[in-house]
Amino acid sequence: MKFGTKAIHAGITPDPSTGAIMTPIYQTSTYVQKSPGDHKGYEYSRTQNPTRDALQANIAALENGKHGLCFSSGLASIDAIIKLLNPGDEVIAANDLYGGTYRIFRKVFEKYGIKFHFTGMHDVSEFEPFINENTRLIWVETPTNPMMNIIDIRRVAEIAKKNNLLLAVDNTFATPYLQTPLDLGADIVMHSVTKYLGGHSDVVMGALVVNSDELKEKLAFLQNSCGATPGPQDCFLVLRGIKTLHLRMDRHCQNGEKIASFLKGHPRVDKVYWPGFEDHPNHQVAREQMRGFGGMISFTLKGDSQDECFRILERFRYFSLAESLGGVESLANHPATMTHASIPREERIKVGLLDSLIRLSVGIEDAEDLIADLEQALSN
């Protein structure tokens, strides 16, 4: 089955009791048993729910994986992955990642005795020296947020395999339409479903996809034991949103290309970060592991003034100033004070996350209108 067909059909079967073509919202907490233990596979909705099951199967199919698990947020799904580890274990993570991921690693799990190393991963030689007998997991986000670096998943996976480490990839920015990390050797794919998979800025949710039955058992145990599961309404909304993922992503990619090129030619703009440019440092890797370059773009202003940057953000008409990304509408964000405020300034500056950096989530509106909006905001 190809991608668009899977987006619409995978995991979806007409409701057995009525034939309803759309998976019903099974708004129930519990299920009646005929005799203790004699039930239809459902006991309690934290453990299983038919609406959630359909979504989990659908996301797993899109990622070319065997098992999907949904959580009440992207962070809850990250939480489950780190709970696979024990005190004394170590994690190697890319140094340019979502602020909330950095925060849960450093501020929540460090005090339970798990050690995190943050390093560049453009070149695998950068992180190999951090591997020791306590290392258990490598954490990769690619494209990275907000610097749009590209990490070579296949190369990292080879090193992970050689050293018997798990490799988890946060695939939120690329989505399975553009990149399927399990096919490149990753063990766990993680999503903030809140973003492109949901696609309509109306749900907060997370998901994991794995191939290993053993990993699935462990993660399902954590999903049920810790209890950060999504409700059926939210699962329904994501099932509806995901049906157009391929169409939306095509438009995000087309608009992304037009806007990245426009920004690159603008006299007030200093650097534009977008993996589709031939002079992007890992453009070749992006070409090999991705099927398109997406609609996430970051740029800095000449002079690097935060004040000037704020004035531009205030002038946008179609780009709404907001956290989050991946919805049909365009958003602009100031990472230094918004999504990435939890990362110390020295750390930020080291990776190029300057005070004038603006991150755009280019939506699926008409590119001409979006460019006109950028033009007026930048020209004042």
Q: Which residues are catalytic?
A: 46, 98, 170, 195
Closest approach of ligand PLP to the CB of residue 273, in Å: 15
Instruction: Name the one range near ligand PLP by CB under 6 A: 70-78, 113-121, 261-269, 311-319.
Output: 70-78
Among 45, 49, 145, 175, binds ligand PLP (CB under 6 A): 145
Q: Token match 């057995």: residue? A: 16
**Is the Cβ–Cβ distance between 149 and 143 less than 8 Å?**
yes
Strand partners, 135: 90
Closest approach of ligand PLP to the CB of residue 66, in Å: 23
Helix/strand/coil for 188: strand
274 binds ligand PLP (CB under 6 A): no
Instruction: Name the one range near ligand PLP by CB under 6 A: 57-65, 69-77, 113-121, 369-377.
Output: 69-77
45 binds ligand PLP (CB under 6 A): no
What residue type is assigned to position 93 of the chain? A
172 binds ligand PLP (CB under 6 A): yes
User: Where would I find the beta strands (DSSP E) of the chain?
Assistant: 67-71, 90-94, 115-119, 135-141, 166-170, 188-192, 206-210, 269-273, 296-301, 320-321, 331-333, 358-361
Instruction: Name the one range near ligand PLP by CB under 6 A: 6-14, 81-89, 169-177, 243-251.
Output: 169-177
Considering the complex, state which of residue 75 and residue 114 has its C-beta at the smaller distance from ligand PLP. Answer: 75
Among 75, 209, 263, 354, binds ligand PLP (CB under 6 A): 75
Token pair of 249, please?
A: 């992503």
Among 45, 73, 135, 330, binds ligand PLP (CB under 6 A): 73
Residue 149 CA from chain centroid, whole number: 14
Considering the complex, state which of residue 137 and residue 204 has its C-beta at the smaller distance from ligand PLP. Answer: 204
Considering the complex, state which of residue 166 and residue 203 has its C-beta at the smaller distance from ligand PLP. Answer: 203
Among 170, 234, 257, 373, binds ligand PLP (CB under 6 A): 170
152 binds ligand PLP (CB under 6 A): no
Question: Strands of 358-361's sheet, edge to edge?
Answer: 269-273, 296-301, 358-361, 331-333, 320-321
Please provide the DSSP assignment of 280-332 as one string. STTHHHHHHH-SS--SEEEEEETT--HHHHHHHHHH-SSSEE-S---SSS-EE
49 binds ligand PLP (CB under 6 A): no
98 binds ligand PLP (CB under 6 A): yes
**Interatomic CA distance for residues 32 and 348, integer angstroms:** 53
230 binds ligand PLP (CB under 6 A): no
Please provide the DSSP assignment of 46-66 as one string. TT--HHHHHHHHHHHHHTT-S
Token pair of 70, please?
A: 């949904």
Considering the complex, state which of residue 73 and residue 223 has its C-beta at the smaller distance from ligand PLP. Answer: 73
Instruction: Name the one range near ligand PLP by CB under 6 A: 16-24, 168-176, 272-280, 362-370.
Output: 168-176
Helix/strand/coil for 140: strand
C-alpha distances (whole Å) from 150 to each of 143, 168, 277, 353 are 5, 15, 12, 16
333 binds ligand PLP (CB under 6 A): no
Closest approach of ligand PLP to the CB of residue 192, in Å: 3
Among 50, 65, 198, 206, binds ligand PLP (CB under 6 A): 206
* Range 178-216 burial, b when 16+ CB lie within 10 A, else e: bbbbbebbbbbbbbbbbbbbbbebebbbbbbbbbeeebb
**Interatomic CA distance for residues 124 and 163, integer angstroms:** 14
Among 100, 120, 185, 352, binds ligand PLP (CB under 6 A): 100
51 binds ligand PLP (CB under 6 A): no
**Contact footprint for ligand PLP (CB under 6 A):** 73-75, 98, 100-101, 141, 145, 170, 172-173, 192, 194-195, 204, 206
